Chains A and B, each alone.
Chain A
């Protein structure tokens, strides 16, 4: 199987969907001539031309709102946010218009838009550029939220997102763009709302998603080697819809849970998971649900300290040992 980067996997998904459906348009700041701020869309303008690959001004409320309006008429815009952090200036469009228009019209209007871009810390760009808004977005019924961790997942999930008839917010990661993984040449689509067991184990369930899957895998290897602890890792992949049943099944096997997330802890995705696990698998738990999140402050700039603010393999290791104590 070919090994490609996460960035290429996303690019391939875009290209395949552009070819499959003439309504698909890729839009955003610097996506066309500049080949993408993170080179995700590199080469697409040359291949598909300016009708399909469109550079926008720095005008997130304007162009995302425009995409929402166009999607109501059946265009399928895939809008790139250079950073998901900039969603705040388009908040009204994203959460009042995209999330609500179907409901407020009594189901008469659909909004098949995809908004994608990176949402992560860890690159020393400070608090304005390091937001992880998946919890904020997923709080709004009407939207779907996806956070892929691997090239394989990124490609299959983005194709599903583009074909979806509801608004889908797709959160990537600048640090993962260069990560490589096996991706088949034949076409495949991964349904939204389907989690994936990234590692099978018996002693502890780690529920996680996004780049924290990689941290958890690294920590699990050490736990196995140095502590003889067998960790099961469930990658949610989608936040909404949420595939909770495999999590509950895993808890029934390990009886111990650690949630790992690159989120500020208060009202995070993990908060919701912890509620659901205690509600639906209370009797299976041999101890309290543990969680490792980002240290609760705006993202610090200082490079070595930012690494410590975020989840990392060492922090996951410590948290796992605490969860098993």
Chain B
């Protein structure tokens, strides 16, 4: 991200310690009215995401998990800050790096870990895997494996909210690499043309797989919104207060004025693109260390809450121990759970085949 100011007058924080910007964010009404309990909850959610993913990494290394595992470690403040603002008619959709969003909207760790293990008790009954978590009961619409393909769906969620006359917004998350997909641009145009209540959130972690932003994208990412006559903003994604303050403005625009907008949130992933990524060709160890040391979202917020007297060292330890235990339990739950059976393969394909009493079509739905 460059340091240009946006049409929403967000500007990027300079690297380094707490700035005037983060103080502003702390004093923003959306944060100022947080109770100590709510602040602790934000912290706890980030810690639970981190411990869950660390535990999943160990399970992956132990070959308990197949396929890809895209870890969100380092980016937790983005999902937690954004999803903490959700009201009853707000919706979330994201890409394959979805564990953080799933936990942030309130999904339990057991079905999430079981899904990674490919178990029948998984949130998608072992049919989706790491990249395809869903929980419509919490307005969480996935979990999508095709880069950028979820963004038109996010616009559709906003269309649905508006069509039904509800006051709400959809948050459509994507990575910095996804911004180059045509479907994203088509979605931008539709959202702006039809004034749909959606916030496009670019989680800019600097890389799409092994390709840095500089090698993949011409110009400022969020600024592309200007071409579609949408306001845009940028914010520091290492500080949960800043994420909340920024996202609150954009969500309010969507909910109150049906004004879509784009937010680019500066963040960083510590792990490789996926666990299979050797992560030694496109960035330096020093760069990763720098982020870990100075910008870790959990550390940043922990320090903040210590200084506010909301957290104590003892409480931090307790929360961490509980999160570790919860993650461990989820692995035990997953381990003990049954796999789906071959009989389950053809379930959940059609509404009609799963609801034979309501079936109106005839003929064969499945073929040998």
Contacts and interface: CB of A to CB of B under 8 A. Distances in A.
Interface of A: 25, 51, 56-57, 59, 61-75, 92-93, 96-97, 101-110, 141-142, 144, 160, 163-166, 189, 191-195, 238, 240-244, 272, 276, 279
Interface stretch (B54-62, B186-194, B213-221, B290-298): B186-194
A51 B363 CA distance: 36
Interface in B316-368: 346-352, 354-355, 358, 360-368
Given A108-B136, A109-B136, A65 B155 contact: yes
A69 B132 contact: no
Interface centre among A56, A68, A105, A240 (most CB of B within 10 A): A105
A104 B128 contact: yes
B225 interface: no
Contact of A160 (B127, B161, B360): B360
Given A104-B143, A107-B125, A141-B366, A92 B190 contact: no
B132 A104 contact: yes
Interface of B: 91, 93, 122-128, 132, 134-137, 141-146, 149-161, 163-164, 182-183, 186-187, 189-190, 193, 346-352, 354-355, 358, 360-368
B357 to A, nearest CB: 13
Contacts of B124: 104-106, 108
Interface centre among A68, A74, A107 (most CB of B within 10 A): A107
Contacts of A70: 156-157, 159-160, 163
Contact of A69 (B127, B153, B347, B350): B153
Nearest to B350: A166
Given A104-B128, A109-B134, A164-B352, A193 B361 contact: yes
A62 to B, nearest CB: 3
Given A65-B156, A96-B149, A166 B360 contact: no
Nearest to B156: A69
B190 A241 contact: no
Given A69-B155, A73-B161, A104-B128, 11 more contacts: A59-B186, A63-B152, A65-B152, A69-B93, A69-B156, A75-B163, A102-B351, A106-B123, A142-B349, A192-B360, A243-B362
A109 B134 CA distance: 8
A238 B362 CA distance: 10
Given A72-B141, A163-B360, A164-B361, A57 B189 contact: yes
A59 B364 contact: no
Nearest to B122: A106
A279 B368 CA distance: 10
Contact of B128 (A73, A106, A144, A240): A106
Interface centre among B149, B186, B368 (most CB of A within 10 A): B186
Contacts of B93: 69
A66 B362 contact: no
A100 to B, nearest CB: 8
Nearest to B131: A104
Contact of A240 (B153, B346, B348, B365): B365
B127 A242 contact: no
Given A103-B349, A108-B124, A108-B134, A65 B149 contact: yes
B188 to A, nearest CB: 9
30 contacts: A51-B163, A59-B186, A61-B186, A62-B155, A62-B187, A62-B189, A63-B190, A64-B152, A65-B156, A65-B187, A66-B155, A66-B159, A70-B159, A70-B163, A72-B153, A75-B156, A97-B144, A97-B150, A102-B348, A106-B123, A106-B134, A107-B354, A141-B366, A144-B361, A166-B352, A192-B361, A193-B361, A194-B362, A242-B363, A244-B363
